[in-house]
Amino acid sequence: MSDTRTADPVQSTTASAAASPAWRRLVTLRNGLLLVALVLLLIAPLFVEEFWLRSGFAAMGAIIGAIGLNLLVGTTGQLSLAHAFFLAVGALTYVYVSGEPGGGVTAYGGLGLPPIIGMILGVLLAGVAGLLFSPVAARLRGIYLGVASLGLVFIGQHVLNTWTSVTGGFNGRGTPNFSLFGFEFSGENPDLYVLNVPFDAAERLWYLGLVLAVAAYVFAKNLLRSRPGRALQTLRDSEVAASVMGVDVQRYKARVFLVSSMYAGLAGVLYALSIGSVAPESFALDLSVLYLAMIVLGGLGSVGGAAVGAVFVTALPLAFQEYAGSLPLVSEPGQGGVSAGQAARMLFGLAIILIVMFEPAGLAGIAQRFRRRRGMPDEPSVPPEGSSPLTTPAQGSTT
């Protein structure tokens, strides 16, 4: 019996695009630039001041959270304002599981387990929280889903203020140092020198954040290149079309909320390590708005754009505060005038307005436009899981 098989036109087009000389040159150039950037990041602690190392660690945590939110909002099209809640779950789990009992006026508990266990449990419990909310997300969309998710932030604020035996109440509680197999990242044990440069907490946390941010970036890129990732993009374009193409809409919505909230849980742990404490005001609604600003500025649906937007939104206020005395029209705290935080928020607002008006695809859209003007192809995509090989993506989808 002869084995007759028909060729998949979509996969054939994808393979031929990936095999084209222009695409190979683009991939080579991109990989070269990424390699240079990675080398610079690896050697940065040898030359960069502590302020920039700590700012970079905060930005790396924000990169992880922004990538997770972009998978939910940018790729799948599900508006969520609850990211601050999932960050709080991750941070709170870490400080309770790895922290010791203590407190002043308000006593709080702690399990005193190894920090790596606290980090893992923080990620898992944040994922569970997202999975529990996914049935609500499956029934709502658009602004209604955004308003429903907003309720989680209010619930989180109430829990943080009232569950004093765990959270420490209004004053919060300190973040335990992170260590792995006796090696302290947040401390100075053991003493470590590299090329006569002391590697203290700032340098060690830099590498911890770098490893986790790169892992989060690579996982998200591979996810979007896979069939499940293409199915998530089809959900954004049209749930009806996705269902017709064989995509299990409810299951994929639950999965993306699970993955997004796990990203947020890990970002929450790094956020707690960067600020040194967990308090209710640290996870208010404005934190969710900042993460939305990150992905809008960077480009909805773009992993690299989310990373760049996170660096911009996180590092800008810190730089303003550090150099407030040298910047025009920006005053130092307590001297009146425009403070660093206010100046940063004004710049965020102006940047968002300009991006929405002139480049809705964000910073990633500028890069795509540059590639197209140079005659370079866009990255080939993978058809959604369960779809027919003769079915084309819905109108408006990205590759």
pLDDT band at 58 (very low <50, low <70, confident <90, very high): very high
User: Stretch 3-28: mean pLDDT, rounded?
Assistant: 53
Q: Which of 16-25, 234-243, 258-267, 271-280 has the highest mean pLDDT?
A: 258-267
378: pLDDT strictly greater than 60: no
Cα separation, 151 vs 282, whole angstroms: 17
Residue 5 lies in a domain: no
pLDDT band at 195 (very low <50, low <70, confident <90, very high): confident
This prediction has a pTM of 0.83
- The CB density around residue 135, as the number of other CB atoms within 10 Å, is 12
C-alpha atoms less than 13 angstroms from C-alpha of 260 in its C-beta half-sphere: 34
Rounded to whole angstroms, how far apart are CA atoms 282 and 172?
9
Q: Is residue 382 part of a domain?
A: no
The residue with tokens 């909320």 is 257
Cα–Cα distance, 351 to 328 (Å, whole number): 19
Residue 196 lies in a domain: yes
Averaged pLDDT for residues 241-251: 79
For residue 199 the two structure tokens come to 């590697």
Q: Between 302 and 366, whose confidence is greater?
A: 302
Find which of 76-85, 176-185, 372-381 is predicted with most confidence, using mean pLDDT: 76-85
pLDDT value at position 370? 66
List residues bridging with 193 in a β-sheet: 198
Could you tell me whether strands 277-278 and 173-174 are parallel, antiparallel, or unpaired per DSSP bridges? antiparallel
Question: Do the Cβ atoms of 68 and 261 come closer than 8 Å?
Answer: yes
> 364 vs 63, 306, 328, CA distance in Å?
15, 9, 30
Please identify which residue in the block is written with the tokens 């940018």: 74
Angle at which helices 50-70 and 249-275 pack, to 10 degrees? 170
Q: Identify the band that residue 23 occupies on the pLDDT scale cut at 50, 70 and 90.
A: low
> Of the segments 39-53, 55-69, 243-257, 349-363, which one has the largest average pLDDT value?
55-69
The verdict on residue 284 lying in a domain is yes
Share of the chain above pLDDT 70, in %: 82
Task: Give the pLDDT band (50/70/90) at residue 320.
Answer: confident
pLDDT at 151 over 60: yes
CA neighbor of 161 nearest in space, from 151, 172, 153, 150 = 172
* Average pLDDT value for residue range 77-101: 92
pLDDT at 266: 96
- Whether residue 98 is contained in a domain is answered as yes
Return the CA Rg of the chain: 22
Domain tally, the chain: 1
Answer yes or no: is pLDDT of 397 > 50: no
Single-letter code of the amino acid located at 39: V
Query: CATH number, domain at 332?
Result: 1.10.3470
Q: Mean pLDDT: which of 26-30, 118-122, 165-169, 392-396 is highest?
A: 118-122
Q: Is residue 190 part of a domain?
A: yes
Long-range contacts of 42-48 (CB under 8 A, 24+ apart): 42/210, 44/206, 45/194, 45/197, 45/199, 45/202, 45/203, 45/206, 45/207, 46/194, 46/195, 46/197
Q: Is 365's pLDDT higher than 80?
A: no
Residue 135 near residue 212 (C-beta atoms within 8 A):
no
Domain span at residue 288? 15-373
Bridge partners for 278 per DSSP:
173
Any residues with CB less than 8 A from the CB of 63 and at least 6 apart, and which? 213, 216, 217, 306, 307, 310, 311
Label residue 384 exposed, middle or buried (CB < 10 Å: 0-12, 13-18, 19+).
buried
Closest listed residue to residue 169, CA positions, set 177, 178, 161: 161
CA distance 346 to 390: 48
C-beta atoms surrounding 337 within 10 Å:
11
Q: Which residue has the higher pLDDT, 387 or 356?
A: 356
At 79 the pLDDT is 87
Q: Does residue 341 lie in a domain region? A: yes
Q: What are phi and psi for residue 108, nearest 5 degrees? A: -140, 160
Side-chain half-sphere exposure of 178, counting CA atoms within 13 A? 26
Q: Within a domain: residue 3?
A: no
> pLDDT tens digits for 101-147?
887 667 888 899 999 999 999 999 999 999 999 888 878 788 888 88
Distance of CA 293 to the CA centre of its chain: 12
Mean of pLDDT over the chain: 80
